[in-house]
Structure 1
Amino acid sequence: MATVEAAIAVSALLMAMWLGANGLAAVTEQMRCADAAREAARLTARGEQQRGAEAATRIVSGANVVVDTQADAIKVVVSKRGPLGLPLSARAFAVPEPR
């Protein structure tokens, strides 16, 4: 009887640890998406859109980077599938620097 209870407890503990590790990985990837979006927006505001997209894909491997440049605003969206297929996304905005 105690063996069955121990097996259930160990299984529950392992499941909780697995979920915790995947949750931590998802939070880390979300932070990377935010960093990548911010860096891409900053570089695009300086007039280096190609470098901004490259930097974002280096920061978050396998990410989809969308840069929307308008006359008075720059919007960058970085999205990716995270652990367990969770959709992760971050946005950053910048104002173009005068030339």
Structure 2
Amino acid sequence: MANIFIASLSYTVPIEQIDDLLKPHLEWLQAGHKAGHFLAWGPKEPRDGGVIFVRAKDRAEAESLLSSDPFMTNGVATSEIIEWNPRFLGSGLEAFGG
């Protein structure tokens, strides 16, 4: 059974450098979604990072997936990974049930 992880990204460079990598980052997210790993994502407010909901078999797999993010490979962001075990899911959130 897969687990859910919340990856909280924090930018370490000016937003202009983030914007330069936004297209490959979004392509990476879409590929991860097609593979069944990324359930949801979006920027934080204020825009100093982002959040990705990740489905993975364990923390090591989640870390491996996130290490291939163009933001990570280019050294423009760091991430904190939190394992999340949902106890309740409202209507429409079934994908988070693992």
Tell whether the structures are fold-level matches, with TM greater than 0.5: no
**Which structure exhibits the higher relative contact order, with contacts defined as CA atoms closer than 8 Å and separated by 6 or more residues?**
2
Which is greater in Rg?
A: 1
Larger helix fraction of residues: 1
